Amino acid sequence: MIAKNLREKSDLNFLKGEALLIDKPLNWSSFKVVHELRKIIGVKKIGHAGTLDPRATGLLILCTGKMTKSIDNYQGMPKVYEGEFMLGKRTKTMDTESEPFEEKPTDHLTEEMLVNATKKFTGKILQIPPMYSAVNHQGSKLYQLAKKGVHVERKPREIEITEFTLTEINLPIVKFRIACTKGTYIRVIAEDYGLELGCGAYLHSLRRTQIGEYKVDDAFTMIEFKEKFAYLRQLHNGD
C-alpha cells in the first residue's frame, strides 16, 4: 500500500499494479481523482474502491494494473465517517447540493433526545438508497433520472451501523462519527435522523476517515502525491 508514511522503495510498478491512499479534495468527484492520477502516473488501468460524493472529503483507496482485481476486497471493508448534520432543515438531495425546502425549530431538542434518536440507527437496519445516487436503474443512474424529475421506487438494503456517536452538539449543528458497512448512505442517515427527531436534517459536511485498517491520516493529498511521485519515479528508474 502506497501511503504517506511509505518507506523509500525502488520497485514500484503502477503498470503491473499498486494500491494507494488518497485524501479526496472538497468538490472533486471520485472520477476526477482517477482522471488526474491517470495523467500523473501515466497508467490507464486505475480505479477507486468506493466512491465519495463531490461535497465529501477523505479517504479513497485506488488500485492500478492487476491490483484492480482487489478493488472488491477493499470495497467490502467497513468505513468510518465524521461530519455534521444540519438540523431543522431538509433538502431534496439530503446534503448541501440543493437548497433547503423545509424549516422547523430545533431549540426544543435536548441532548437526551438527540442521543436517544441515534439508537434507532445502530445495528442492522434497512436503508433505501437515495434518488440522487449512482445506483443503476435500467441502464441509467438514479441521479440522472432524478434531475429529469423521474422518481423510481427503490428496494431497501440491509446495512449495519456499528457506531453512531454525537461528538459535539451546537444546535442546529451536531457533529457525528459513524462506523458502518459497505453501501451505507450517510445522507440517508441524516434525512432519517431528522425525521425521527421531527425537525428534519441534512448532511452539512462529511469526511471519510477510515476504510478497514487504512486511515486518512496516512493518505496523500493530490498535491503531495504529485510531488512524491516525481521522486518515486526516480527511484523506480534508478536515477
Q: Residues with catalytic annotation?
A: 53
> Chain centroid to CA 57: how far?
7
d(CA 164, CA 166): 7
For residue 137, what is its C-alpha cell? 436503474
Cβ contacts of 141 within 8 Å, gap of 6 or more: 133, 134, 135
Polymer length in residues for the chain: 239
Phi, psi values for residue 163, rounded to 5°:
-150, 135
Residue 180 grid cell? 458502518
Closest CA to 204 of 221, 182, 189: 189
With both helix axes pointing from N to C terminus, report the angle between 222-237 and 30-41 in degrees, rounded to the nearest 10: 30
21 sits in which H/E element: strand 19-24
Nearest to 89 by CA among 190, 207, 205: 190
Q: What are residue 225's phi and psi, to 5 degrees?
A: -65, -40
- Residue indicated by cell numbers 438514479: 142
